[in-house]
Amino acid sequence: MVQESFHIEVSGLWKVFGGRPERALRPEHASKSRDEIQDELGLVVGLRDVAFRVPRGQTFVVMGLSGSGKSTLARCLIRLIEATEGEIKFDGEDILGYSQEDLRQFRRDKIAMVFQNYALLPHRRVLDNVAYGLEVQGMDKDSRHRVAAGAIETVGLKGWEYYYPSEMSGGMQQRVGLARALAVDPEVLIMDEPFSGLDPLIRREMQDELVMLQSALQKTIIFITHDLDEALKLGDRIAIMRDGVIVQEGTPEEIVTRPANDYVSEFVQDVSRAKVIRAGSIMQEPEVVIHEGLDCRAALAAMQDNNAETAYVVGDDNVLLGILTQDRITDLANQRTRALGAAQTEGLATTSPATFIEKIIPLAAETEHFIAVVDEEGRLLGEIHRRALLAGMVDELPDGGLAV
């Protein structure tokens, strides 16, 4: 089994504000709350024994209310705030041990941060704002303008290169900030509530834009937010923080369907399960699968033995070719047709294992058969029954589901 490689690994991370912060880490305070430590020691615990790992190319969302420690964590990851104790590893190297020169090189070449307030230079046009990081790196003007123009086009602002930030809307300014981060081609993007100051419609557009960009670019992203819907939409995995502690980490589906405690339950109680549960979690083993080369009478016998009205027909490597009913196979048998090459695709609904339930419901309404789940190569993985759709939306996930 190949061991998963992690781009970012954080372990035992503490940030305590105040004089002699190491006092808060002593064993006698291990069971005390943040408020108790503050009352007794006059120290504020911003982060408490935080640990998580992020694979390369994944979007990891850190979510929490004001004061939960999420922004403190973001700043510790780039050492804008110095941690009290712990490890922050990028590609296996602990950046807490970096010299100031190492840290400058790291910030310049490997990581970029996108802030809520855009942090654009008002006296510079869009092109030079986006090129700023490349200018710091020492790239010549023509080259950096060429790279910046490409980043501007990537975020959908082509034609706005020579405008000033004051001439643009808030959403457009945030796109400029994102383009500036992308221009330096960082391995990691840290985004600290970048969309929270935008109007709801613009915010949704920016979220959709980020999803599309990430699909194409596959950057490692740490995204900070206080909005659960935003976290569920963007995150491959989500960490929910409270009082400087990660109280639960998991996929959006795990967070919604298996909250770790009452605090998380309150967060997710109004979330539609159909928006976070995927086809792969509710699909079941197909009742009957027959190869295209099978004799019609043998196929009919297999269906009758399983009391199945339909059967999937597959070719080599389990690639789905179509679906046949008992009546259709009986007709083929009566016509002395030996093989099943006449499998029907009409009425056959398919989906991928990553599709959300809310996208599958219309498919269920359009077909009288079960919904086939196939991979990118068209191989049959499982099938979804209507009762599984209902169970996934309102209650527990159905028994017999297949792991993806």
235-247: per-residue pLDDT in tens? 999 999 999 999 9
What pLDDT sits at residue 402? 46
**Structure-token pair, residue 80:** 């804008």
105-155: per-residue pLDDT in tens? 999 889 998 887 778 899 999 999 999 999 988 899 999 999 999 999 999
Kindly provide the b/e burial profile for residues 226-246, where b requires at least 16 CB atoms within 10 angstroms of the residue's own CB: ebbebbbbbbebbbbbbbbbb
Where are the alpha helices (H) located in 348-385, listed in sequence order? 357-366
What pLDDT sits at residue 144? 95
- Cβ(8)–Cβ(86) below 8 Å: no
C-alpha–C-alpha distance, residues 163 and 127, integer Å: 8
Calculate mean pLDDT across residues 254-270: 91
CATH level 3 topology of 57-86+95-275? Rossmann fold (3.40.50)
C-alpha–C-alpha distance, residues 39 and 318, integer Å: 65
Q: What is the pLDDT confidence band of residue 296, given thresholds at 50, 70 and 90?
A: confident
Q: Identify the residue whose tokens are 């499982």.
A: 382
Q: What is the pLDDT confidence band of residue 201, given thresholds at 50, 70 and 90?
A: confident
3-53: per-residue pLDDT in tens? 567 999 999 999 999 999 999 999 999 999 999 999 999 999 999 999 999
Q: What is the pLDDT confidence band of residue 269, given thresholds at 50, 70 and 90?
A: confident
What pLDDT sits at residue 345? 64
What pLDDT sits at residue 309? 84
Q: pTM of the predicted model, to two decimals?
A: 0.83
pLDDT at 396 over 80: no
C-alpha–C-alpha distance, residues 209 and 199, integer Å: 15
What pLDDT sits at residue 198? 83
Calculate mean pLDDT across residues 225-229: 93
307-364: per-residue pLDDT in tens? 888 889 998 899 998 888 888 877 777 776 555 655 566 678 899 999 998 888 888 8
List the chain domain ranges: 57-86+95-275, 279-394
Q: Identify the residue whose tokens are 């935003």.
A: 230
Q: Between 372 and 338, whose confidence is greater?
A: 372
What pLDDT sits at residue 83? 96
Please state, rounded to an integer, the average pLDDT across all residues of the chain.
89
What pLDDT sits at residue 404? 42
45-95: per-residue pLDDT in tens? 999 999 999 999 999 999 999 999 999 999 999 999 999 999 999 999 999
Q: Does 279-394 match 57-86+95-275 at the fold level?
A: no
State CA 386 to chain mean position distance.
27
The CATH superfamily of 279-394 is CBS-domain (3.10.580.10)
What's phi and psi for 402, nearest 5 deg? -100, 135
- Cβ(373)–Cβ(403) below 8 Å: no
Q: Between 96 and 271, whose confidence is greater?
A: 96
